[in-house]
Structure 1
Amino acid sequence: MKTLISTNLVQSIMAKEAFVKESVDDILLLSEWIREVFEDGGKLLIFGNGGSAADAQHLAAEFVNRFLINRRPLPALALTTDSSVLTSIANDFSYELVFAKQIQALGKPEDLALGISTSGTSANVVKAMEAARTIGMKTVALTGGTARPGGDLAAICDLVLNVPSDSTPHIQETHLWVEHLLCEIVERQMFASS
């Protein structure tokens, strides 16, 4: 079991290192886009399934409340939390539309849609991105994989940050790491002098 622990740690670190090597400029670009959205009166709409849904809620909480700096709340919303909306859309239409309909109801051109999908192929995330593009929102995906980096989202998003790993746990660990990093960068850019 000690070998398992050591091996797992090394593989997790390797996934993050490979991601940073490929995506450092895109991480900085995304942090700039998020800052601009907040400064221009827009909001960050975040969504995903399973562990990615938990990430969406976690990231929204960090922006709305605080990350490391006590500052004003920032408008971020996880589209994974309203059980009445989610279940009514899934029941009356289809699970594939649970995020797209919320994007259509809440999204504005000055907003940013951030979809999280370890495979990049989650149908409901893809449909939400299509809806966001129709509105004129910026679209960003956090994905993973090596065979089809970015999956279906690669062709329809303005920006894709892909973790070059085929291990779902290591992709998710990297997503959480970069989500925290984005919070820290945006807070420093907006509030470090206050």
Structure 2
Amino acid sequence: MSEPITDLIDAHLKRSLVALERATQDTAMLDCARKVAETIVGALVAGNKLLIIGNGGSAGDAQHIAAEIVGRYKRERSAYPALALTTDTSALTAIANDYGYDRVFERQVEGLGRPGDVLLALSTSGRSPSILAALRTARKRGLVTVGFTGSRGQAMGQDCDHLLIAPVDETAVIQQVHLTVAHGICDYVEQALDAAT
């Protein structure tokens, strides 16, 4: 007989708690998160924008983060320019159809990215071809490249100016760490930009 559902839920919450506790002790990850927050603030102050990409659950996280930046996280304030490149179904399907799925984000970065913009790429594995292609194009075009990945995604770092590695290898829990860190970054961005204006 399979494990009772309540035990599965409890076990997942415990794994998540362990991962978040581990993240609070991961000085390299925390230092990277601060650098990412400072990079985003610098870009927004300079009149640039934040582009965010991801596949699957990470696509949903990209949209969530963009909404926090454009709308608000905690404070009433001006809107900041952020765009999830995961939401335009016409662009996504046309690019996938005409060029192949591996180029769905790359083509959008070509069209929308400008030097000084920040590309935040979420990939739990660090190996997604569509994510890596976009990062390479962003670097060539002068964007600052930021990657969020899991403990097995270090190779993604060759295409990133900043690589944040969640100290866990379970996809769902990596995403939880990513979103928790992203919320902290949103808080930092709001407070820093509020102080700068």
- TM-score for the superposition, normalised by structure 1: 0.93
One-letter amino acid matched to 2:148? L
Aligned counterpart for 1:21 among listed residues 2, 19, 25: 25
CA shift, 1:60, in A, is 0.5
Corresponding residue for 2:85? 79
Kept in 1, the 8 Å contact 2:72–2:79? The answer is yes
Helix, strand or coil at the partner of 1:103: helix
Q: Distance in 1 between matches of 2:18 and 2:139?
A: 33
Q: Distance in 2 between matches of 1:101 and 1:41?
A: 22
Q: Distance in 1 between matches of 2:24 and 2:85?
A: 27
Kept in 1, the 8 Å contact 2:124–2:148? The answer is yes
Q: Distance in 2 between matches of 1:186 and 1:13?
A: 25
Pairing of 1:103-118 with structure 2 (within 5 A): 103-118=109-124
Helix, strand or coil at the partner of 2:102: helix
Helix, strand or coil at the partner of 1:99: helix
Q: Distance in 2 between matches of 1:141 and 1:55?
A: 13
Do structure 1's residue 186 and structure 2's residue 189 form an aligned pair?
A: yes
Aligned counterpart for 1:5 among listed residues 5, 9, 23: 9
Corresponding residue for 2:163? 160
Helix, strand or coil at the partner of 1:98: helix
One-letter amino acid matched to 1:87? T
One-letter amino acid matched to 2:15? Q
State, as a whole percentage, how many aligned pairs show the same letter.
44
Q: Distance in 2 between matches of 1:100 and 1:172?
A: 22
Helix, strand or coil at the partner of 1:46: strand
Kept in 1, the 8 Å contact 2:62–2:86? The answer is yes
Q: Distance in 2 between matches of 1:98 and 1:112?
A: 18
One-letter amino acid matched to 2:99? F
One-letter amino acid matched to 1:16? L
Q: Distance in 1 between matches of 2:46 and 2:22?
A: 33
Unaligned runs of 5+ in 2: none
Corresponding residue for 2:106? 100
Kept in 2, the 8 Å contact 1:16–1:163? The answer is no
CA shift, 1:179, in A, is 1.2
CA shift, 1:110, in A, is 1.1
Q: Distance in 2 between matches of 1:132 and 1:149?
A: 19
Q: Distance in 2 between matches of 1:192 and 1:5?
A: 41
Corresponding residue for 2:38? 32
One-letter amino acid matched to 2:186? C
Corresponding residue for 2:132? 126
Q: Distance in 1 between matches of 2:17 and 2:42?
A: 31
Corresponding residue for 1:65? 71
Alignment size in residue pairs: 191
Most deviating of 118-127 and 13-22: 13-22
- TM-score for the superposition, normalised by structure 2: 0.92
